[in-house]
Amino acid sequence: MATYKKTGSKPKKSHNSKIEDESTTAEVFNTLDETASKSEQWIIKNQKPIFGILATIVVVILGYLAYQKYVQAPNEKEAADELAFPKAYFEDAATNSVAADSLYTLALKGTDGKYGFVDIASKYSGTKAGNLANYYAGISYLNIKNYKEAIEYLESFSSEDELLGPIAKGAIGDAFADINQLDDALDYYLKAASLKDNNFSSPLFLFKAGNIAMKLEKYSTALDVFTQIKNDYPTSNEAKNIDIYINKAAFASK
């Protein structure tokens, strides 16, 4: 009967090999001990500046939280309360064509010891209400045809709102259009159209941009924006008769 020898069995480590492994392990642990010891020595040596930095960070954080609670929050409430007064005049002006200029002026300058938009924008510049005051001031100045101040205040306003941001940019375009700075008007209308993509402000300001481009004889630009209205915003008000404007721009560009 045949017998087979087993092959591939794991060879036993020699005594010398065991000693080498133990020596290597010991070296690793010694290196780690030395590194830890050096780190501890460095920390001990530099503990004052380290604790100083940590203390500074803690003080900054606590200071920020205290500022938010005891300064910023009260300022926000106070500014919002102040804003209600000129807003009432602003809203009256928007629906009262007879005394609109006087009402917008009262909204801007204030009366009876109350702040107007100009003062609120300055005094509460770091608040949400102060930022909104820039918007209302800009629109008020635009309505009383004080275009330089309108542009200044509207450029100071910022918003991530879907409509308010584009409307402010577009109002700057209106101001430039009214003073016949048509290249600037075109630039701001295009910015307003692309700021937030929606079915109201985008086609509205593209349409204004197209008309300004026609006046500037930039017919290819006009054709592009009129075509964009037709393709991207077919249900908008501006798209209803847009083929007429597309044909005009196409004919003029030949």
In this structure, is the dihedral angle defined by the CA atoms of residues 136, 137, 143 and 147, taken in order, positive or negative? negative
DSSP structure class, residue 210: H
- Tell whether pTM > 0.85: no
At residue 50's C-alpha, the angle toward residues 44 and 53, to 5°, is 170
What is the distance between the alpha carbons of residues 229 and 227, in angstroms, rounded to a whole number? 5
Mean pLDDT confidence for 243-252 = 97
Cα 136 to Cα 117: distance, rounded to the nearest angstrom: 7
Q: Supply the pLDDT for residue 98.
A: 78
Sketch the domain layout of the chain as residue ranges. Answer: 52-158, 182-254
Average of pLDDT values for 218-232?
98
Query: For residues 39 and 130, which has the higher predicted lDDT (pLDDT)?
Result: 130
Domain spanning 182-254: CATH 1.25.40: yes
Per-residue pLDDT tens over the stretch 142-187 = 999 999 999 999 999 999 999 999 999 999 999 999 999 999 999 9
Any alpha helices (H) in the chain, and if so which ranges? 15-45, 47-67, 73-95, 100-109, 117-123, 128-143, 147-156, 164-178, 182-195, 201-215, 219-232, 242-252
Q: How much of the chain, in percent, has pLDDT values that exceed 70?
A: 71
Q: Which of 40-44, 160-164, 194-198 has the lowest mean pLDDT?
A: 40-44
Integer Cα distance of 214 and 233 in angstroms? 20
pLDDT of residue 97: 76
Highest mean pLDDT (candidates 12-21, 25-34, 91-100, 207-216): 207-216
